[in-house]
Chains A and B, each alone.
Chain A
């Protein structure tokens, strides 16, 4: 069940169950960007928290390789997610394996890799997908099809235009996680550390 997080990723896919043209067009469009950089703001609220937690940073996503997640606020920390696992990167660019990381996260990125590489059947299996808008402003809403999952996850919404602009995850326990992406652009040449840790030749 902990792996439900995985499903967040499934957003990036999905075919059969929505207005087929829009969903397909969006995915086809997103997949033209093989590596993107973006600034992110993540806002999380949970009934246990007095106020929402907000973090800022930058990310690099490379299809087939993995993701750099560099948090700048409220602390400075860089995580790298690849198929091999999750590592923390220090200032010198050395990666240290993170053992007890929330396993879902690693799987999110791994699944994301698979989905953006064209294996898009899983999201449709798990979710009803509703699409809204047009290619310039679209929203995809993913609602769990199975009660087991619905007990944990309420729904996930994905918004964007040229790029993915935002993700909203609503959990059944009242937790919400909102990700806003800005300054999204094609990644260009990765840095030496990025190339090394993501295995980009």
Chain B
């Protein structure tokens, strides 16, 4: 390799890097929408057996859509209402929102009732069905009771349009009546013991997951909230909506990124300055690392189209591993003194770096096999980052580091390294490892495990509390458990859902579902017959008995209809209705069935569209979240399954925690095989011992710390294996080249380890449980491995 080709390569590499930087900048900032993915759901793996169930989960989670749902609360009713009005006005004026609903537009009650009149004989509540189906239903008594209800002023459909109250009962059961909000002073208001709650809904001008939309809308809300709280002291604004969760996740991740990124950068810089006593190595190391991170970001966005928050934070920590390669090269330069030739340096470190890269990539590649979008992205990020950083050492750094180092590696570091190396190698160290291994056993035995979904998604508890209050008052916002009803066509779905909801009604389990709004055609036909089941038949000339209700065929229908009209007319006249009222009501029979198209065209049902998926529907339990009970309720019903995403995630976490443990064993064997190939079977075990013991001790330490083992701990252990193997390799490969400087090779390893600890270890401070577990495990694992690394070098007599 001549000097010319070195420069040429460096120039080529620099050009490629520059291109990559530009591409990265364009990907990040040049395309309008930020590729940063703040939707935590996107990080979750698929858990459900089919795509339909996954889609249903997603629909439910996003049911609240790109909206802010706010409840303005104040102990004083007037203050709550005025505050809500002003909040609505303040938000409505800003372009961050397309529309804000606080004050209701004037509407006529008739608008809600009239569309249902044509279908009134087809729509019956379960209670009315039961009454009508009971033998000996007495229409006269039923009408008398209704007409003499205490305080029973009729406020829904007009009495003459709905003499039995069937339609009113039906409308009362529609889901928009689910909450306790009532229109008052043109505002939707609920009263609780602690004051009044007024609903304000603000529709975002864009997606909840869009960075700009988030910042703008939250900023506007914050200002408006401050104003109304100042004006109406004691006002609280409860909030829910995807935008709040996404923003909280983003804020947490950004904080983590800053802490990890800045702290590790500063720490690594200080360390490198101390070790190499020169600024140039520091800059070189940072160029190499930065290229790694930029390359990783570029490739990740190119592959996935976006960057998860988790990846971002993890990427900040990856600095500590990417810098290892340049550190090795810089150590080689420092140790070579005046005899330094850049190209020879590359040749010297190349085997170690390649082996180290191979083991790291092996670790991350295993991570990529896990079917978690977030983990897969982290793996791709790491693989790309490591590869680019390593390539920069081979192709760019030689050109930047032609001059010999001005000073050897800092003497205190080398002395420290040598001191520890003497303590921690040879027989004594093996004995100590054996003793520690025994001491680790109780730690292992104490180890529990935890597979909860909160490892990946842990929204601020206050947001969940507010969402629960809003769900209680307003009746919307969904849980994460529901029944999925599937069928060959809409009618079958509805019939199957009715089989379930009938059972739920019998068990007094509350639910929200399609069939409360749109009964199956079959059920509507039954309702039509039931509404004719009036025991007035004997007062009429041609009267079939109740059992001869119209069933099938045009002729039967026609006779049935005529008979029904007579019965209805007779019942109403008998009960004291005016003849023309009775006539008009009877003539309205049978009307027409309420169809899917009618349902879709009814504006009041728009908020509930997420319940319908053409060949499937969702039924949400209300107030009962005992999964076993919910599951039992659907037992034996065709086409119905209980979907429980959190439980699905937990099961998946648990399963992959098991797999990951096996993979860890497999990876250990693979790395062992690689070592055996390079160092021979007799020496390989020594090189393998530090990472293996590091893993064993880390797990024991987790047990002693009372940390339950999670999938993320096990994943981190794979990285410990990858990184830990590097150290053993660096030491083993480096020793021969620095024989004249005892301790220098190990000093380089320690330098790598401390930089890794600085970055990965800081992840332990992360607010995301998954990253926190990663960080803690890496802190322990890398710490142990680095301390044990001297064992891997061939025994020294001075030990």
Q: Is the CB of A104 within 8 A of B153?
A: yes
Q: How far is the CB of B171 from chain A (nearest CB, A)?
A: 8
User: Is residue B148 within 8 Å, beta carbon to beta carbon, of the partner chain?
Assistant: yes
Q: How far is the CB of B691 from chain A (nearest CB, A)?
A: 65
A100 interface neighbour in B125, B153, B184, B578, Cβ under 8 Å: B125
B185 interface neighbour in A101, A146, A152, A171, Cβ under 8 Å: A146
- Give Cα distance in the complex from A48 to B575, angstroms: 11
- In the complex, which residues 56-71 of chain A have their Cβ closer than 8 Å to any Cβ of chain B? 59, 69, 71
- Give Cα distance in the complex from A46 to B579, angstroms: 14
Q: How far is the CB of A46 from chain B (nearest CB, A)?
A: 5
Q: How far is the CB of B535 from chain A (nearest CB, A)?
A: 15
Q: Known: A1-B109, A175-B159. Contact between A50 and B152, CB under 8 A?
A: no
Residues in A with CB closer than 8 Å to B581 are 48-49
Question: What 1/0 flags go to B498-518 for Cβ under 8 Å of A?
Answer: 000000000000000000000
Q: Is the CB of B156 within 8 A of A48?
A: no
Q: Is the CB of A49 within 8 A of B150?
A: no
User: Is residue B465 within 8 Å, beta carbon to beta carbon, of the partner chain?
Assistant: no
- In the complex, which residues 171-191 of chain B have their Cβ closer than 8 Å to any Cβ of chain A? 171-173, 182-186, 191
A5 interface neighbour in B128, B144, B155, B165, Cβ under 8 Å: B155
- Give Cα distance in the complex from A146 to B106, angstroms: 11
Q: Is the CB of B168 within 8 A of A102?
A: yes
Chain A residues within 8 Å of chain B by Cβ, number: 47
Residues in A with CB closer than 8 Å to B127 are 99-100
Q: How far is the CB of B623 from chain A (nearest CB, A)?
A: 15
Chain B interface category by residue count: 35 or more
Q: Nearest CB to that of A54 among chain B residues?
A: B148
Residues in A with CB closer than 8 Å to B141 are 75
- Give Cα distance in the complex from A108 to B155, angstroms: 14
Q: Is the CB of A169 within 8 A of B153?
A: yes
Q: Is the CB of B106 within 8 A of A8?
A: no
Q: Known: A48-B158, A100-B127, A146-B186. Contact between A2 and B149, CB under 8 A?
A: no
- Give Cα distance in the complex from A147 to B88, angstroms: 21
User: Is residue A31 within 8 Å, beta carbon to beta carbon, of the partner chain?
Assistant: no
Chain A contact residues: helix, strand, loop or mixed? mixed
User: Is residue B254 within 8 Å, beta carbon to beta carbon, of the partner chain?
Assistant: no
Q: Is the CB of B153 within 8 A of A48?
A: no
Q: Known: A77-B145, A100-B172, A151-B109. Contact between A69 and B150, CB under 8 A?
A: yes
Q: Is the CB of A105 within 8 A of B149?
A: yes
Question: What 1/0 flags go to A100-118 for Cβ under 8 Å of B?
Answer: 1111110010000000000
Residues in B with CB closer than 8 Å to A108 are 151
Residues in B with CB closer than 8 Å to A71 are 148, 150
Residues in A with CB closer than 8 Å to B89 are none
User: Is residue B543 within 8 Å, beta carbon to beta carbon, of the partner chain?
Assistant: no
How many inter-chain residue pairs (CB < 8 Å) link A and B? Answer: 125
- Give Cα distance in the complex from A108 to B185, angstroms: 19
Q: How far is the CB of B81 from chain A (nearest CB, A)?
A: 9
Residues in B with CB closer than 8 Å to A175 are 153-154, 159
Residues in A with CB closer than 8 Å to B147 are 44, 49, 53
Residues in B with CB closer than 8 Å to A125 are 77-78, 184-185
Q: How far is the CB of B127 from chain A (nearest CB, A)?
A: 4
Q: Is the CB of B153 within 8 A of A8?
A: yes
User: Is residue A55 within 8 Å, beta carbon to beta carbon, of the partner chain?
Assistant: yes
A48 interface neighbour in B152, B185, B186, B578, Cβ under 8 Å: B578
Q: How far is the CB of A114 from chain B (nearest CB, A)?
A: 9
Q: Known: A42-B150, A50-B576, A102-B168. Contact between A2 and B186, CB under 8 A?
A: no
Q: Nearest CB to that of A79 among chain B residues?
A: B150
Chain B contact residues: helix, strand, loop or mixed? mixed
User: Is residue B562 within 8 Å, beta carbon to beta carbon, of the partner chain?
Assistant: no
Q: Nearest CB to that of B130 among chain A residues?
A: A99
Q: Known: A50-B576, A148-B186. Contact between A100 and B155, CB under 8 A?
A: no
User: Is residue B408 within 8 Å, beta carbon to beta carbon, of the partner chain?
Assistant: no
- Give Cα distance in the complex from A42 to B152, angstroms: 10
User: Is residue A84 within 8 Å, beta carbon to beta carbon, of the partner chain?
Assistant: no
A105 interface neighbour in B108, B152, B171, B184, Cβ under 8 Å: B152
B184 interface neighbour in A5, A103, A126, A177, Cβ under 8 Å: A126
Q: Nearest CB to that of A49 among chain B residues?
A: B576
A51 interface neighbour in B78, B108, B128, B576, Cβ under 8 Å: B576
A171 interface neighbour in B144, B154, B576, Cβ under 8 Å: B154
- Give Cα distance in the complex from A179 to B147, angstroms: 14
- Give Cα distance in the complex from A44 to B106, angstroms: 30
Q: Is the CB of A74 within 8 A of B144?
A: yes
User: Is residue A17 within 8 Å, beta carbon to beta carbon, of the partner chain?
Assistant: no
Q: Is the CB of B184 within 8 A of A44?
A: no
User: Is residue A28 within 8 Å, beta carbon to beta carbon, of the partner chain?
Assistant: no
Q: How far is the CB of A158 from chain B (nearest CB, A)?
A: 13
User: Is residue A135 within 8 Å, beta carbon to beta carbon, of the partner chain?
Assistant: no
Residues in A with CB closer than 8 Å to B151 are 5, 8, 104-105, 108, 169, 177, 179
Q: Nearest CB to that of B585 among chain A residues?
A: A48
Q: How far is the CB of A183 from chain B (nearest CB, A)?
A: 17
- Give Cα distance in the complex from A99 to B126, angstroms: 9
User: Is residue B232 within 8 Å, beta carbon to beta carbon, of the partner chain?
Assistant: no
- Give Cα distance in the complex from A169 to B155, angstroms: 12
User: Is residue B62 within 8 Å, beta carbon to beta carbon, of the partner chain?
Assistant: no
User: Is residue A21 within 8 Å, beta carbon to beta carbon, of the partner chain?
Assistant: no
Q: Is the CB of B148 within 8 A of A53?
A: yes
Q: Nearest CB to that of B78 among chain A residues?
A: A125
Q: How far is the CB of B168 from chain A (nearest CB, A)?
A: 7
Q: Is the CB of A2 within 8 A of B159?
A: no
Q: Is the CB of A102 within 8 A of B165?
A: yes
Give 18 pairs: A residue, B residue, CB < 8 Å, sorted on A.
Answer: A1-B109, A3-B182, A5-B155, A42-B148, A47-B578, A48-B160, A48-B577, A49-B576, A50-B579, A69-B150, A75-B148, A102-B154, A104-B155, A105-B152, A151-B108, A171-B155, A173-B154, A177-B151
Besides A102-B165, A122-B77, 12 other CB < 8 A contacts? A1-B109, A2-B156, A5-B153, A44-B152, A48-B158, A50-B579, A59-B150, A75-B144, A104-B151, A104-B153, A126-B184, A173-B158
Interface residues of B (CB under 8 A from A): 77-78, 106, 108-109, 112, 125-128, 141, 144-145, 147-156, 158-160, 163, 165, 168-169, 171-173, 182-186, 191, 576-579, 581
